Structure 1
Amino acid sequence: MRTLGGRYRLEQRIGIGGMSEVWRSHDLVLDRPVAVKLISPGQDEGATSVERIRDEARSAARLVHPNVASVHDFGTATPMPGCEVPYIVMELAEGETLAAHLRDGALDWRIAVRVCAEVSAALAAAHAHGIVHRDVKPANVMLTPSGVKVLDFGIATPAGAPDRTPDGIVVGTPAYLAPEQLDRQPATPAADMYALGVLLYYCLTGRLPYAASSTTQLLGERQRQAPEPLPEIDGLPAEVADLCRRCLADDPLVRPSSLMAALVLAEVVDARVYVPMLAAPPRQRGGVVSPWTDRAATEATEAVALDGPPTAWGG
């Protein structure tokens, strides 16, 4: 199974998870590098059915945004009789994951805020399409020369959709799960915003906002320790600390929207982010550029934002 569908040649495995693995591959038809996510065979049919994976790929393929790794194709392979393995073909985002950067400790607060502003913008685009990511974490954030790419919308789901995974399986990464996800309530954008709060906290401090033992409590007793307050960080604007605190609220209604988070964080570091403007307030100083506003008025600014100098992600 080195070539899928007579088109995608698998070259190097670059990631592996509980139910899938990702390969650097080559599209022989269009002569370009791609990433192929293979769903591991032998998993529970309810969690990895072809129908479910196809639905997820269709949802993710609707997203076209500079901070989202695009989905190109879906297919199935048959490595052995009676074994059908679904796969998703995605944009290959070149760079280094946020997880790799965080191994050296916390980021400079300005870089942390910019990264999370772009992650929020990607989530705002998804939420505007009624899509919830469900697994926002450092390993799914790629830092590229042109900015952030949010990866792996492969477990994305329509907002409010019933959880179709088998009983006992909670989709997502334990440390980033919102309290309501532990009770298997339908996924909503507010769950992504809880994960964003954990991500922002981790970027600013180099650690999670709760004790190391809390992951066991998450999956066992269904009780989460209250997130620890964000420590004092020299120069960090108060609105960033407040946003982080509200994202980590137990009550989903207290958490800010992804659109609001993108606007607040971008404004703090005077960055440009792309967000759906249908629900956005009038454009603020330097904070927002949107392809959904009047094209004639924004075309020149968009070109500068998209074709500007590479982003420096150093600490």
Structure 2
Amino acid sequence: MDTDDHDARADDEPVTRGAPVSPRPASTSGVRGGVSDDEPNGLFVGPPEAPDRHELLGEGIAGGEGITWKARYQGELTSPLPLAIKLLSPPRDAGPGWPSAREQQRWRDHAVLLRHLKLDHVVRLDEVFLGAPPHPPGSVREGTGASPQTMAYLVMEWVEGPTLHALLAGDPARADTIRRRLAYVAQAGEALASLASVTRSGGNPSLHRDVKPTNCIVHPKRGLVLIDVSTMRLIDDGYDLAGWHTPAYTSPEVLAAPHLPRAVAADVYALGALAYFCLTGQDPPAPDAPGAPAHIEAEVAAVARACGVGDPGRLTSHILAALDGDPSRRPTDLRNWSRGLLEAGGGEPATGHSPSSARPPRRLLYVIVAASLAVAGGGAFAPGLLERVSGGGDQSRTAPPSVTRSAGATSKDPTPSHATGDAVKPVGTIDAPADGAKVKYCSYFSGTASLPPGATLILAKQNMVNGDPQKYVELVFNYEKTSTLTSWRGAQYFGGENEGGVGQVYRIELVAVSLERARHFHDVEMSIEEIQELVRSGTSLADVQVRRVASGKPNECPGPPPD
């Protein structure tokens, strides 16, 4: 394992709006300037109603956007909780009214969005507030926030572990570390894909906009975690007053116009630059540096050969595709690109961090959601409400039933039929709702099926309008009682009223998969790639397209329909 005893949390490398700047090396210990990260420095911060709410620890880490401290919250708790608090610096061109009400609302929106996404590989943003500068306890009167200036603070979770910069800087990958390093890049790609997903974000796709080694923490259980979400913005956000960026990890179109709105292609470029760093231990040359593409190609190929990669050219070409100077030619599917990166580098890492190790089992998640909905809705519970689109877990390698889809087995078939010979081919129908039907927040589906031994049924949902290629899966009711699935029933969920689904068209597919794979899906929080493999492993039996309409109430499916 690559190890380091440094616990860094913040942006050690300045960001800029113009010419490149020299990065400040990350500290190599938990002590900065003689003050430990865990030692109180005598200063407190908080909102006007509680100016001493958070006690600051250590000297903090200064970056281009502000300074970040480890902190602790006491309140009425028995023991204080660790947090990370960032004091934001105003942009150079900011007027006396910074931060504006719109900027403050943007940060609050991002906090809600990140809580909605629940991403293992992105830091959680807990609170945004304006308050007095860091001060000794008791020096600011509660309720007034009296101060010559009001400061903007972000309160985030404290993520343990070294930064990628502290862990890897100056150390090229070796044969025994290359797969683990590429896995870190793939985890960053998974995070960026989730942020940019229209479906995952409830219609609010966003960009991180500052992916670089000092903004990546390697957590012992979660793996790579993107931190410093202060630069995060919605994709369709407007003019950027600050234009923050880090030249070596910034695409040429952003370097040319840092204040303009950015596209997903900009985060793709930063991910390619991160891959270069993880392989070489060095920052890539800025895209406008003379000979940058040739230099990147030569360095990546050299490391790949030294690590014994079977096809160094394939790995090199894969990374160069993300670093293409033309944003229209960069990869558009970050999950597929990340999967291809692992394959080009020699496959999945033999050791490393599994996101699923930080998650409770799926059955416990069901209990949590059920309890939450029971409190909010008087006991109504939609089973399987969680979309299984993040996390890890070991994928079952059991082969699916060796059968093919029967001709004519579609939603229009009145009854399933058996194939000739000793083997039974799975066949099935979707009888309700009909093709073209309108659906609300959730809709029941039903039909008939005939399955071979060891097979069961799932319902796969795909949005046909927003361009998201991913399919989202629900098990049919009583999926383990395969003998009862001759007349099956299930449910699919289409998002709340404010999640961007109204008016969208969805394809719902009935798929026969192995019972063992379905059990694995139920018990383990699968990654999005594993879910797609689950669907691909099965046999498509029938499909319908439905249109989401307004629901009128929050939950249309309180549970399995009565027998």
What SS does the corresponding residue of 2:72 show, helix, strand or coil? Answer: strand
Partner of 2:301: 231
Q: Does 1:261 align with 2:324?
A: no
Partner SS, residue 96 of structure 1: coil
Is 1:162 aligned to residue 385 of structure 2? Answer: no
Give the TM-score normalised by structure 1. 0.78
Aligned to 1:10: 56
Q: What amino acid sits opposite 1:148 in the alignment?
A: L
Structural RMSD (CA) = 3.3
Aligned residue in 2 for 1:36: 85
Unaligned runs of 5+ in 1: 279-283, 305-315
Q: Secondary structure at the match of 1:2?
A: strand
Indicate which of 282, 291, 294 corresponds to 2:474. 294
Gap change, CA 1:181 and 1:231, over 3 Å in 2: same
Task: Report the Cα distance in structure 1 between the residues aligned to 2:107 and 2:310, rounded to whole angstroms.
Answer: 38
Aligned partner of 1:186: which letter?
Answer: P
Are residue 49 (structure 1) and residue 99 (structure 2) matched? Answer: yes
Cross-structure match for 1:136: 211
Q: Once the two structures are superposed, what CA deviation does each residue of 1:266-297 show, in whole Å capped at 9, x if it has no partner?
A: 555336679x878xxxxx887xxx99643775
> 1:58: which partner in 2?
109
**More displaced 10-residue stretch of structure 1: 50-59 or 93-102:** 50-59
Shift of residue 24 of structure 1? 0.4
CA drift of 1:14 comes to 3.4
Cα deviations by residue, 1:211-240 (Å, 9 ceiling, x for unpaired): xxx58x67xxxx884352132313335443
In 1, Cα distance between equivalents of 2:45 and 2:471: 37
Matches within 5 A, 1:233-248: 233-234=304-305, 235-236=308-309, 238=311, 239-248=314-323
Instruction: Give the whole-Å Cα distance in 2 for the aligned partners of 1:292 and 1:32.
Output: 36
SS of the equivalent of 2:525 reads helix
How much does 1:261 deviate? 2.2
The whole-number CA distance in structure 2 between the counterparts of 1:165 and 1:301 is 43
Compared CA separation, residues 57 and 105, structure 1 to 2 (3 A): farther
Q: Look up the SS of the partner of 1:294 in the other structure.
A: strand
Name the SS of the counterpart of 2:245 in structure 1.
coil
**Aligned match of 1:206:** 281
What's the CA shift for 1:209?
A: 3.6
Distance 1:11 1:247, change over 3 A: same
Out of 264-273 and 249-258, give the one that drifted further. 264-273
State the 1:22 CA deviation: 0.6
Conservation of the 8 A alpha-carbon contact between 1:159 and 1:188: yes
Decide which structure has greater helix share. 1
Q: In 1, are the aligned partners of 2:170 and 2:282 still within 8 Å (CA)? A: no
Q: TM-score if structure 2 supplies the norm length?
A: 0.46
Contact 1:113-1:269 within 8 A present in 2 as well: no
Distance 1:300 1:277 in 2: 11
Query: Does the 8 Å CA contact 1:56/1:155 hold for their aligned counterparts?
Result: no
More displaced stretch, 238-247 vs 17-26: 238-247
**C-alpha distance after superposition, 1:25-77 (max 9, x if no partner):** 11223631110111136954269524325413422541221111111111111
Say which is worse superposed, 11-20 or 290-299, in terms of deviation: 290-299
1:23 is aligned to 2:69: yes
The size of the alignment, in residue pairs, is 285
Which residue does 1:173 correspond to in 2? 246
Percent identity between the two aligned chains: 26
> C-alpha separation between the residues in 1 aligned to 2:247 and 2:91?
23
Judging changes above 3 Å, is the alpha-carbon distance between structure 1 residues 273 and 247 closer, same or farther for their aligned structure 2 residues? farther
Q: Distance in 1 between matches of 2:342 and 2:110?
A: 27
8 Å CA contact 2:189–2:338 kept in 1: the answer is: yes
